[in-house]
Structure 1
Amino acid sequence: MHHRKLRRLLTVAGLAAGFAALAPALAASPADYPHKPITLIVPYSPGGTTDMAARALAENLSRQFQQPVLIENKPGAGGSMGVTEMTKAAPDGYRLTLAPVGIFRQPHLQPVRYDPIRDLAYIAAFMEYDFFVAVPADSPFKTMKDMVDFAKQNPGAVSYGTPGRFSGNHVVLAMLGTKYGAKFAHVPFKGDSDSTNSLLGGHLKTAVIANSIMPFMQAGKVRVLASAGDVVNPVFKAPTLRELGYDVFVPSPLGLAGPKGLPKPIVEKLDKAVKLALEDPNFKKLMDANGLRATYMDNEAYTQFAKKAFADEEKVVKNLGMETD
């Protein structure tokens, strides 16, 4: 009798423990998402173009979800700090990151602590950077042809600044030089602002800079000769390299990603919210003010892009091996 009673007590205790263990999972089911604040990692310093776009997106998502979306800046490691964080984040949608295109290039360059395909769930892309080839306002180079022809005739005489070796900016002129027999001299900096300052100070012949060059262009301090995008940026109005006859295209979409195993209903809920944010007039206004192009890819298209980009970047790195000085 005593043993039967003890077994019953143990059974009840076991069931209670099981329900207790299930309780958090039930409380945090995808249907209830989100029921607490979300953290969005921005893998760059505060105050930059990416940070501003991320904060605008976070503000919009906060309004949609009625939950705070908090920004956490983690610069360094070529913009890969956020995706590295995803390898140890719980797949519950409360810790997310921006995923710059450089994360697909880094694993082909050096050992990294993440696999961009295996370790991430791609939610949605919401904007695209452009890389602009800029020269000082008093530069003798009036067109890309002027600059490319000069670099062919004077190997190494055209110095160009970028925010670092193997950044997308670096790839633009490295690819152009390799394909068209022009030898440019790469000068890596820590970021676009340093590269811009050196260009304005007359220490560089040219620089490949993202959208942050806009105010200097508008002030008449630099001329933008071309972009490496697939379409003309409506604010900058510079022709694309492809339009000018140079087969150079460096895509750079920016999107939202989470850890692997993120439940599909949460991915789709976040994806839908990003799409709605892009339709918001205030969000559009901020993007236009910074010369950023809103470019939407849903979770399936973004996942396919990631797979292709990872494979393509391996080829880019191998083909540009001679241009990595």
Structure 2
Amino acid sequence: MHLHRRRFCIAASVGASLLSHRAWSQGARGWPHKPIHFVTPYPPAGLSDQITRFAAERIAKALGQSIIVDNKPGAGATLGTEYAARAAPDGYTFLVAPTAAVAIAPWLRQVNFSAQDFIPVAKLACGYGLITGRKNEAFDDYRKFVAAAKAAPGKYTFASNGVGTIVHLTGVLLHKQAGIDVLHVPYKGSMESMMDLLGGRIDIMYDPVTLPRVKSGDLVGLATSSAERHPEIPDVPTLAELGFNLDTRSWFGIFAPKGTPAEIVARMEEEAGKALRAPDVRQQLLMASMYPDFEGPTAFATRVRKDSAFFKALIFREGIKAD
């Protein structure tokens, strides 16, 4: 009698598991049947918001379902990132974020998430790094800025969109390499810092969001950190041309909460890849100082692990702490 009951329980358990798996598979095949949310942990108008909306528009058309962009800034991008990590893994919430949110933030402060809470779905784009200064300064390229900063330690300021962001760490790496003392002024978002740069309240930025203002002549491009000169501002030299070496590992990608069905991850990867291969994409991203650089889940996961280890070592070595 006991043996019979035990066999019945095992059979029931296996049957329930198969039914659950079948339900997930059927749900994945019917996905999406309601709006999807793309969470970006930064405020509107910055680069993260721009790439999120770009991806949402393209992928929504392919899926035949609307994608809602949720801006959830705060606490150095950790609030929105944690929100996405804790979302139901049902294929209706994804995180679209840069290097800083996933590979950097967990090493700066106590957070309730880690990179292991996400499935890397697709790397979308990388940024042309841009170093920008105010008009009418004594320096019009980065080498001259370094000379000015050496002559007046602590005089100059640089802005970022938060402690531990890629913009902040770019400054840390370059200042250490150049041997200069420049005061860091963190902001909540890129647009706020750019307005203060335009207003003369700070001296320099390491953020490509300034590209339109450089093109208009309102700000001065001091250097780009990409391997080649920026196609939109070909007169601005690269850091390498000026004698500096930098690897900022700056990217934007889509992440799913851990446990999201593999079929849904694969479909989102597929549509993201198709969107980035469209003929007009490169030119559109270029206007935001980015370029398409697609990677699927396996390659992107490897990148996230390596970059996380790189920034962990940098942050601990430099003693960088969140405010």
Query: Is the TM value for this pair above 0.5?
Result: yes
**Following the alignment from structure 1 to structure 2, what is the Cα–Cα distance between the partners of residues 293 and 253?**
10
Structure 1's 18 and 254: CA in aligned 2 closer, same or farther, altered over 3 A? same
| Paired letter, 1:292 | M
Counterpart residue number, 2:196: 198
**Equivalent residues of 1:82, 1:98 under 8 A apart:** no
Q: Distance in 2 between matches of 1:216 and 1:227?
A: 15
Please state if 1:134 is matched with 2:132.
yes
Q: Give the RMSD, CA atoms, in angstroms.
A: 2.8
Query: Does structure 1 conserve the Cα–Cα contact (< 8 Å) formed by 2:285 and 2:292?
Result: yes
2:129, 2:207 within 8 Å by CA — same for their partners in 1?
Answer: yes
Q: Is 1:226 matched with 2:229?
A: no
- Structure 1 position 98, deviation (Å): 0.7
Match of 1:246 in 2: 244
CA distance in 2, matches of 1:58, 1:170: 27
User: Which segment drifts farther, 124-133 or 297-306?
Assistant: 124-133
Q: Tell me which residue corresponds to 1:55.
A: 53
- Please tell me whether the aligned partners of residues 53 and 286 of structure 1 are also in contact (alpha carbons under 8 angstroms): no
Q: Which amino acid aligns with 2:314?
A: V
Gaps (5+ residues) in structure 1? 1-10
Secondary structure in 2 aligned to 1:78?
A: coil
SS in 1 for 2:206: strand
Looking at structure 1, the residues matched to 44 and 175 of structure 2 have their Cα atoms a distance apart, in angstroms, of 33
**Structure 2 letter corresponding to 1:225:** L
Output the CA distance in 1 between the equivalents of 2:321 and 2:244. 18
Between stretches 289-298 and 80-89, larger displacement belongs to 80-89
DSSP-derived class of the 1:67 partner:
coil
Offset at 1:253?
A: 0.4
* Counterparts in 2 of 1:248 and 1:320: CA distance versus 1, 3 Å: farther
Q: Which amino acid aligns with 1:27?
A: Q
Aligned-residue identity in percent? 26
User: 1:312/1:322 Cα in 2 relative to 1: closer, same or farther (>3 Å)?
Assistant: closer
Supply the distance in 2 between the matched residues of 1:201 and 1:18 (Cα, whole angstroms). 64
Match in the other structure for 1:40: 38
Q: CA deviation at 1:102?
A: 0.8
- State the secondary structure of the residue aligned to 1:77: coil
SS in 1 for 2:34: coil
| Partner residue, 2:287 | 289
Query: 1:284 Cα deviation (Å)?
Result: 4.1
Q: Distance between the aligned counterparts of 2:112 and 2:162, measured in 1? A: 20
The aligned counterpart of 1:74 is 72
Moved more, 193-202 or 228-237: 228-237
Deviation digits for residues 44-103 of structure 1, max 9, x if unmatched?
223434323322221221221112222222111222334312332232222111122112
For 2:176 and 2:48, locate their aligned partners in 1 and report how far apart those are by CA, in whole Å.
Answer: 30
Question: Structure 1 residues 204 and 297 mapped into 2: Cα distance closer, same or farther (>3 Å)?
Answer: same
Q: Amino acid of the residue matched to residue 44 of structure 1?
A: Y
Q: Distance in 2 between matches of 1:267 and 1:26?
A: 12
How many residue pairs get aligned? The number is 311
Once residues 194 and 104 of structure 2 are traced to their aligned partners in structure 1, the CA distance between those partners, rounded to angstroms, is: 24
- Aligned ranges for residues 106-121 of structure 1 at < 5 Å? 106-116=105-115, 118-121=116-119
Q: C-alpha distance in 1, partners of 2:149/2:74?
A: 32
8 Å Cα contact 2:24-2:261 kept in structure 1: no
Q: Which residue number corresponds to residue 101 of structure 1?
A: 99
The answer for the alignment partner of 1:268 in structure 2 is 266
The one-letter amino acid of 1:215's match is P
Counterpart code for 2:84: M
**Equivalent residue letter for 2:212:** P
Distance (whole Å) between structure 2 residues aligned to residue 52 and residue 156 of structure 1:
34
Residue in structure 1 matched with residue 187 of structure 2 by the alignment: 189
Separation in 2, partners of 1:324, 1:245: 31
Q: Residues 173 and 51 (structure 1 numbering): CA distance in 2 closer, same or farther, change over 3 Å?
A: closer
1:153 matched residue in structure 2: 151
Q: What is the CA-CA distance between 1:321 and the residue it aligns to?
A: 2.4
| TM-score, normalization by structure 1 | 0.85
SS at match of 1:225: strand
Q: Find the counterpart in structure 1 of residue 211 from structure 2.
A: 214
Separation in 1, partners of 2:162, 2:154: 18
CA contact (8 A) 1:40 1:96 kept: yes
Measure, in 1, the Cα distance between the counterparts of 2:47 and 2:304: 22
Aligned: 1:308 with 2:306: yes
37 and 200 in structure 1: CA distance in 2 versus 1, 3 angstrom threshold: closer
Change (3 A) 1:59 1:231: same
| In 2, Cα distance between equivalents of 1:324 and 1:78 | 8
